[in-house]
Amino acid sequence: MQFLRNVSLCLMFVMVASCSGGSSPQPDATLGEVTVATRAPGPTPFIAHLGIRVERADLVRSVSYTIEPKAGTISRPVSITYSNAYLVRRQLLDVANRHLDVPVVGLYAGYQNKVSLQLTFADGSTRSDSAVIDTPVYQEAAPRYTAMDVKTPRQPGITLGYDFILLKNNATTPVVMDTDGNIRWAGAGITKAPSSTFLSGRFLAGSTEAPTLYRIELDGTSSTVNLSDPTLANFHHDLVPGKVGMLAEVDTRSGGSKILESVLAEIDADGRVLKQWDMAAIFRAAMSAGGDDPSGFVRDNADWFHMNSAIYSPVDDSLIVSSRENFVVKLDYQSGRIRWLLGDPNKHWYVNYPSLRALALTLTSGKMPVGQHSLSIAPDGKLMLFNNGTASYNNPAGTPAGVNPGFNAVSKYAIDESARTAAEVWTYEHNRDLWSNICSSAYQVNQGSYLIAYSSAYEHTRAKLIGLDANGKLAFDYEYPTQVCDTIFNAVVIDFGALVLQ
């Protein structure tokens, strides 16, 4: 099926009023002809290309476009600006042939999209244009995102600090949707992207099977790079910005064996491994120094740690890491020294090892993290996480696995490192009627609003995505079919409403 069935061009060269109430510079007649025509469809209905003939392509400084929202929707329009530097780097501006290729991403599938464009030139003048791009319906091999069940549609009277959501998943490339529930971006070519992020104008996704990083541009084109360290085996769980590069949970190889889910690496977009933290080495050293034998806790060929989230805190140059099996641990970024542990005192690590007990914070109020995912630092500086409420799966036989609350909560903690205490200062429990025992995420973002994903609810059959305003009022509630965590591993905010690519 042809992705662009019809493109209607309305050439409207106009002057644009300045903020002072005057007019921008009169379009220079020497700029010559500017005409628009379709060039090619993208790999999915959410992506198209408009080719523009520009007589003075050498004077183009930027091109912007905005997609008119569907009637009745609340999310902001998709609005993206490509700078000259971006156009040159991506080889979208061909000065010699007087041609500009504009990737238009964020289109509605199966819809006549009204798109407005604006070119800005070196003299400050602008020329505007518009197009109608008619796209086909999005076809999924197995309906997931197109099978959305709207429990509560986007509520018009509730303000959110975000309009677009990036869904990390085990089924396809990263997917972007708006808060009205419309899919606005999906690529092609890879079938798993739990370890993914959007950085410097493109999606990055780590392979779950090899030490390979996929780099997916907004127009759907992609490239791959291998990690520089040959001992690394694959990515698992999340991928987030770190101090210098990106923090990635990786498996490694040693002596022919695979080291499972206990190594954190900081990598860059070219696959260079900048720094690593080996939790086995860190905990063996700390436990031995504290007088314990670590062999019953740090166990080779076992998923003893199960790292599922890690973040960098610039406040004190530290890492905060989630070990689903045990606790949340804070490490010094440079040395890897353990600063504190926060977790269920009914588990193996606390009950049987005085060296680890000595590093534990005392909880003064609320619930301990249990089986947690998706660490973050909330806008108020508190530690936030999705509290799965799931006891340990892989503790040694005969040792305590800890409590099993059997419901989910989003928890915020105030940490007092001097007093060695932690307090749960805010929680959202959804009436304790949901239990996604694995995966899942929760973040507080702009204007205090929340984005929460229950990745594997209702016996691993449904993924639920909800938005709350700063006062906890429900802005939307959507459900999707899933197998375990395939549809939504993690959901984060992405800005497609005022994106400027340099």
For the stretch 110-130, pLDDT in tens is: 999 999 999 999 999 999 989
Last residue of a domain, one of 134, 156, 191: 134
| Cβ neighbours, 10 Å, residue 68 | 15
What ranges in 124-179 are assigned the alpha helix state H? none
Give the list of residues 6+ apart from residue 397 with CB closer than 8 angstroms, or none. Answer: none
Q: Is 308 helix (H, G, I), strand (E, B) or coil?
A: strand
As a whole number of Å, the CA-based R_g of the chain is 25
Mean pLDDT, range 378-394, rounded to an integer: 97
Instruction: Give domain status of residue 140, yes or no.
Output: no
Q: Tens digit of pLDDT for each residue in 271-311?
A: 999 999 999 999 999 999 999 999 999 998 899 999 999 99
Last residue of a domain, one of 73, 103, 134: 134
* CATH number of the domain to which 258 belongs: 2.120.10.80
pLDDT: which is higher, 432 or 19:
432
Indicate if 128 and 187 belong to the same structural domain. no
Instruction: Give domain status of residue 304, yes or no.
Output: yes
Q: Is 252 helix (H, G, I), strand (E, B) or coil?
A: strand
Indicate if 37 and 166 belong to the same structural domain. no
Q: Per-residue pLDDT for 246 more than 60?
A: yes
Check: CB of residue 501 under 8 Å from CB of residue 479.
no
d(CA 132, CA 228): 45
| Cβ neighbours, 10 Å, residue 192 | 21
- Strand order, beta sheet including 257-267: 232-241, 246-254, 257-267, 273-278
Indicate if 156 and 14 belong to the same structural domain. no
Instruction: Give domain status of residue 324, yes or no.
Output: yes
d(CA 63, CA 392): 52
Mean pLDDT, range 145-165, rounded to an integer: 97
E-strand ranges in 55-137 read 60-67, 78-83, 93-94, 99-105, 112-121, 126-134
Number of structural domains the chain divides into: 2
Indicate if 246 and 307 belong to the same structural domain. yes
* CATH number of the domain to which 121 belongs: 2.60.40.3100
Indicate if 114 and 215 belong to the same structural domain. no
What ranges in 34-164 are assigned the alpha helix state H? 84-89
Give the list of residues 6+ apart from residue 236 with CB closer than 8 angstroms, or none. Answer: 194, 195, 208, 249, 250, 251, 261
Instruction: Give domain status of residue 155, yes or no.
Output: yes
Q: Per-residue pLDDT for 5 more than 80?
A: no
Instruction: Give domain status of residue 49, yes or no.
Output: yes
Q: Is 140 helix (H, G, I), strand (E, B) or coil?
A: coil
Indicate if 26 and 95 belong to the same structural domain. yes
- Residue 290 buriedness (CB in 10 A; 0-12 / 13-18 / 19+): middle
Q: Per-residue pLDDT for 6 more than 50?
A: no
pLDDT at 20: 29
Q: Per-residue pLDDT for 13 more than 90?
A: no
d(CA 174, CA 414): 32
Instruction: Give domain status of residue 385, yes or no.
Output: yes
Check: CB of residue 122 under 8 Å from CB of residue 62.
no
CA angle, 251 as apex, 250 and 252 as ends, to 5°? 115
Indicate if 127 and 225 belong to the same structural domain. no
User: What is the domain extent for residue 102?
Assistant: 7-134
d(CA 357, CA 342): 10
Instruction: Give domain status of residue 289, yes or no.
Output: yes
Q: Tens digit of pLDDT for each residue in 444-499?
A: 998 999 999 999 999 999 999 999 999 999 999 999 999 999 999 999 999 999 99
Q: Tens digit of pLDDT for each residue in 27-60?
A: 454 566 777 765 689 999 999 999 999 999 999 9
Mean pLDDT, range 356-374, rounded to an integer: 98
Q: Tens digit of pLDDT for each residue in 403-427?
A: 999 999 999 999 999 999 999 999 9
Q: Per-residue pLDDT for 12 more than 50?
A: no
Mean pLDDT, range 317-332, rounded to an integer: 98
pLDDT at 458: 96
E strand or H helix that includes residue 164:
strand 164-168
Percentage, residues of the chain above pLDDT 70 = 93
This prediction's pTM:
0.93
E-strand ranges in 279-387 read 307-313, 318-323, 327-332, 338-342, 362-365, 373-377, 383-387
Q: Are strands 362-365 and 373-377 parallel, antiparallel or unpaired?
A: unpaired
Residues 228, 231, 237, 240, Cα dihedral to 10° = -30
Instruction: Give domain status of residue 2, yes or no.
Output: no
Q: Per-residue pLDDT for 26 more than 60?
A: no
Q: At 258, is the pLDDT very low, low, confident or very high (cuts 50, 70, 90)?
A: confident
d(CA 432, CA 439): 17
Indicate if 189 and 291 belong to the same structural domain. yes
CA angle, 144 as apex, 80 and 406 as ends, to 5°? 110
Indicate if 159 and 37 belong to the same structural domain. no
Indicate if 114 and 154 belong to the same structural domain. no
Give the list of residues 6+ apart from residue 309 with CB closer than 8 angstroms, or none. Answer: 237, 238, 249, 321, 322, 372, 373, 374, 375, 385
What ranges in 290-406 are assigned the alpha helix state H? 348-352, 354-357
Q: At 8, is the pLDDT very low, low, confident or very high (cuts 50, 70, 90)?
A: very low
Last residue of a domain, one of 70, 102, 134: 134
Indicate if 102 and 150 belong to the same structural domain. no
* Tokens, residue 285: 């050293």
Q: Tens digit of pLDDT for each residue in 86-108?
A: 999 999 999 999 999 999 999 99
d(CA 401, CA 392): 5
Indicate if 390 and 478 belong to the same structural domain. yes
